Amino acid sequence: MTDSETTNAAPLTPANAEAEVPKKKATSIWRELGPVLFFVVVYNVARKFPDDGSLFSKETAIYWSTGSFMVAILAVIGWTIFKKEKISPMLIVTGVIVTVFGGLTIFLQSPEFAYYKPTIINLLFAGLIFGGLAMGKNVWKIAFQHAFNLPDYAWKTFAIRWGFFYIFLAILNEVLWRTQSEDFWANAKLFLVMPATFIFMLANMPYLVKHSHDDIMGTRDKAENGN
């Protein structure tokens, strides 16, 4: 790097790192929120159907919304492939489970499969994270190292935090569908689970910014020292 390039380069500061992190996260927010929003909208529209036991009756709302959620998840995967972007292993796992349990919900006309699905997905994610750490593999780092540069100890901290958060979401889902009405459970996906997830993400943002900056500065120091 020449002196002029060094002079013109933007200084690497925590503020710059903080500005970059939201940009990376913003590109994936619609992939998280879109299918859930589609599910909730379709469910509430279908609940306005007449109560006559037909294919388009309010009792079939869970099946219409489940089918819509399946389509939305597959659309997200398809769009990611079309854009030639890296598909997160978490998205692949979610797509498989949503397709299998959504298909069982509709084919067997049994809404219980739709109720179980979030619990199974979240426990599977937690199991992958903690199981990987037990075997010396950080699944969280493998899944997201293309988006962030973090030292190994920070990746481990994030993996543990998200592992426990997934367990919390699994417990929350069980409590909701077993104690509340189907209407409340369905709408809680958008008005309770998603806000809780975004709050958790925001709460971890300062740690992410701090250690993203530390890793960048460490790499820069090594380069300047010729290591």
Nearest to 31 by CA among 99, 85, 100, 104: 85
Give the pLDDT band (50/70/90) at residue 87.
Answer: confident
Task: Specify the pLDDT at position 66.
Answer: 95
Q: Which 3 state secondary structure label does DSSP give 172? A: helix
Give the pLDDT band (50/70/90) at residue 16.
Answer: very low
14 and 209 in contact (C-beta within 8 Å)?
Answer: yes
Q: Which 3 state secondary structure label does DSSP give 137? A: coil
Query: What is the DSSP track for 26-65?
Result: HHHHHHHHHHHHHHHHHHHHHTTS-SSSSTTSGGGHHHHH
Task: Give the percent of the chain with pLDDT over 90.
Answer: 54
Cα–Cα distance measured from residue 92 to residue 98, given in angstroms and rounded to the nearest whole number: 10
The mean per-residue pLDDT over the stretch 150-159 comes to 91
Q: Which 3 state secondary structure label does DSSP give 152? A: helix
Give the pLDDT band (50/70/90) at residue 8.
Answer: very low
Amino acid occupying residue 155: W
Please state at what angle helix 152-179 crosses helix 194-224, rounded to 10 degrees. Answer: 170
